[in-house]
Structure 1
Amino acid sequence: MSITFAARPRTRRATESPSRHRRRGSARRSLAGWAFAGPATLVVVGLSIFPAVWAFFISRTKWNGIAAATDVGWRNYQRIAEDPNVGAAAQHTLLLTALFVPGSILLGLLIAVALNQRIRLVGFYRTCIFVPYVASAAATGILASFVFNPQFGAANEALRRLGLPAQQFLESPSQALLVICLIALWGEVGFTAVIYLAALQDIPQGLVEAATIDGAGRWRVFRHIVVPELRPVTVFVAIWQTIAAMQLFDLIYTTTRGGPMNSTQTVVYYIYELAFQTQRLGYGAAVAYLLFAVTMLLTVVIFWRNRRSGSEAS
């Protein structure tokens, strides 16, 4: 007599492959993550995209914010090329960017290298260098206007003690933009230094030790190992600081308000004057879109230059 046993049917979970099970788990975790982050993401995207789209429609109108808007097509954009104030503001903005971005990168890198050493009270020094960045930019501008006051400012007092002539600083058309750049560097270099400091601590020490054993000095190690390793961070800092320089407004508003003689009138401050002082909202929105296009162009150029230099180095 033969006894036969019926095969026990496999359950669905047992027949699933491990890869399919992992995919389901990953999808479940992704759904859980989007459930938490989705509402906040929608709010942030909505608050960014909706004003941008609305501003584009405003840029094609003539509107003072009160009366009904009049559609003028692309006339506002055509007027930009004929407006001498836009050209002057663009020159001031580009000059400020050309001074601020390399200065913030160089100073931030030097400070980060100094703070990456084993020195006493290094934590206190790192905190002090970052404090100006978290301070209010408006408060920084108000404080700087007292420091660089030609009559009773601390800067001229220091020059007098050194036997140097007093300067007009923020009241001089030839010096005001340079002083604003200096104030902006004082407030922003802490951010650059912290970013570079974190990147320096991620550089493999084996590369540095191998180069040192091969006889390379500190300068050669810094030039051929540290700087190439920091290239992605430098690109990020350059883009970030370029955007910060081209959108600088609060320091100018609290110190010079575009003066003297419009020598510190940047594109952003000119947009503020158009939109909120002369109520030319349509034309101001058109200039704002021009600033956005230039910022995007500079960002693409920085990316392209970095990829080209990286491919040539490899």
Structure 2
Amino acid sequence: MALTFAADPRAHPPQPAGHRQVGPRGRGRRHLTGWAFAGPATVIVVGLSLFPAIWAFFISRAKWNGIAPATMVGWQNYERLASDPDMAAAAKHTLLLTVLFVPSSIVLGILIAIALNQKIRLIGFYRTCIFVPYVASAAATGILAGFIFNPQFGAANEIFRFFGIPTQQFLENPNQAMYVIALIALWGEVGFTSVIYLAALQDIPKELVEAARIDGANSWRVFRHVTMPELKPVTVFTVIWQTITAMQMFDLIYTTTRGGPLNSTQTVVYYIYELAFQTQRLGYGAAAAYLLFAVTMILSLGVLWYSRRSGQEGF
């Protein structure tokens, strides 16, 4: 008598209807098809980022005006930067802008995000209004701000006159210009931090807030002991992003003060622009650009290292 055994269904799991096994050739064709679509865009992105960066490094070790043949000078451009008083002044202005802009954008972003997280009428309209300045061109924002803070016919001084406050020079005063630029940048960038923190607030588990309230915590204690710890990873990302934004801010300064008055708003990025495109010292400007890149990278890595050491990773 012949015995028959049923095949183990786990050895050959049933395949869905219409399923077809794909061999090595089929997988290879799929990969080729995918790269046929993504390849040209990848080549363009790499070509427009990696190649200019490598080329700029070689330029930074040369003396070149963009027309005559370049003369290799080694590391002399970097050595000159260490004793360049204009570079030192631009670094101080950049540091001042960063200190004014980054903490203000984070604190104001959190406060606006908390306000936009409430259930009130027309909340979608308010959220859109907050984000519109970020979407607008920074160049357009700078041009508009130039009219608003004009000492003669600007709207800011008109408001001051209405309330009996002495008029100000704003962007034409070396002691006020950088603070006004930080205020303009804050108006244009706070929408970004607000949206980021709003998304983080909506991602906080409601059970944590409800448990804290059941334990008798008031709104301030809930915010301090529940909300803020949950926002720390987002804050790490925001600090790095806003720091890079402040250190690389160019279009706003170009459309408002162009580094003036008396170079009081000349940041490192604008100084690099003047070196490369105004005085045609391309090698020296490329060295300054690489120095800015190194400083930005060190600051970003420092923030990441500190956040991971404290157990709050933002990336």
State the match for 2:190 in structure 1: 189
Q: 1:186 and 1:95 mapped to 2: Cα distance?
A: 17
Letter in 1 for 2:44: V
Q: 2:290 and 2:234 mapped to 1: Cα distance?
A: 28
What stretches of structure 2 of length at least 5 have no aligned partner? Answer: 6-10, 14-20
Q: 1:30 to 1:212 in 2, by over 3 A?
A: farther
State the match for 1:154 in structure 2: 155
Q: 1:213 to 1:56 in 2, by over 3 A?
A: same
State the match for 2:62 in structure 1: 61
State the match for 1:18 in structure 2: none
Q: Which is further off, 27-36 or 192-201?
A: 27-36
State the match for 2:18 in structure 1: none
Query: Offset at 1:77?
Result: 0.4
Q: How does 1:100-179 map to 2 (within 5 A)?
A: 100-179=101-180
SS in 2 for 1:164: coil
Query: Offset at 1:107?
Result: 0.6
Q: 1:3 and 1:273 mapped to 2: Cα distance?
A: 94
CA displacement 1:241-285 (0-9 Å, x = unmatched): 111000000010000000000000000000000000000000000
SS in 1 for 2:311: helix
Query: Offset at 1:35?
Result: 5.6
Length-normalised TM-score, structure 1: 0.89
Letter in 2 for 1:223: R
Letter in 2 for 1:170: L
Letter in 1 for 2:254: Y
Q: How does 1:206-285 map to 2 (within 5 A)?
A: 206-285=207-286
Q: 1:194 and 1:254 mapped to 2: Cα distance?
A: 26
Query: Offset at 1:14?
Result: 4.8
Q: What is the Cα-based RMSD across aligned positions, in Å?
A: 2.4
Letter in 1 for 2:225: H
Q: 1:69 to 1:121 in 2, by over 3 A?
A: same
Q: 1:73 to 1:131 in 2, by over 3 A?
A: same
Letter in 2 for 1:83: D
Q: Which is further off, 154-163 or 85-94?
A: 154-163
Q: 2:108 and 2:96 mapped to 1: Cα distance?
A: 18
SS in 1 for 2:310: helix
CA displacement 1:179-227 (0-9 Å, x = unmatched): 0000000000001101111111111000000001100111111111111
The structure carrying a bigger helix percent of its residues is 1
Q: 1:203 to 1:141 in 2, by over 3 A?
A: same
Q: 1:283 and 1:199 mapped to 2: Cα distance?
A: 43
Query: Offset at 1:54?
Result: 0.3
Letter in 2 for 1:267: V
Q: 1:37 and 1:204 mapped to 2: Cα distance?
A: 38
Q: Which is further off, 29-38 or 83-92?
A: 29-38
Q: Which is further off, 256-265 or 157-166?
A: 157-166
What stretches of structure 1 of length at least 5 have no aligned partner? Answer: 8-12, 16-20
What is the percentage of aligned positions where both structures have the same residue? 74
Query: Offset at 1:160?
Result: 1.2
Letter in 2 for 1:176: A
CA displacement 1:129-185 (0-9 Å, x = unmatched): 000001011110000000001111110111111111111100000000000000000
Query: Offset at 1:303?
Result: 1.0
Q: How does 1:7-18 map to 2 (within 5 A)?
A: 14=12
State the match for 1:89 in structure 2: 90
SS in 1 for 2:265: coil
CA displacement 1:5-54 (0-9 Å, x = unmatched): 9x9xxxxx959xxxxx99x9xx8899476664444233212211111000
Q: 1:146 to 1:66 in 2, by over 3 A?
A: same
Q: 2:139 and 2:213 mapped to 1: Cα distance?
A: 47
TM superposition outliers: structure 1 runs of 4+ over 3 Å: 2-5, 27-39
Q: 2:234 and 2:29 mapped to 1: Cα distance?
A: 31
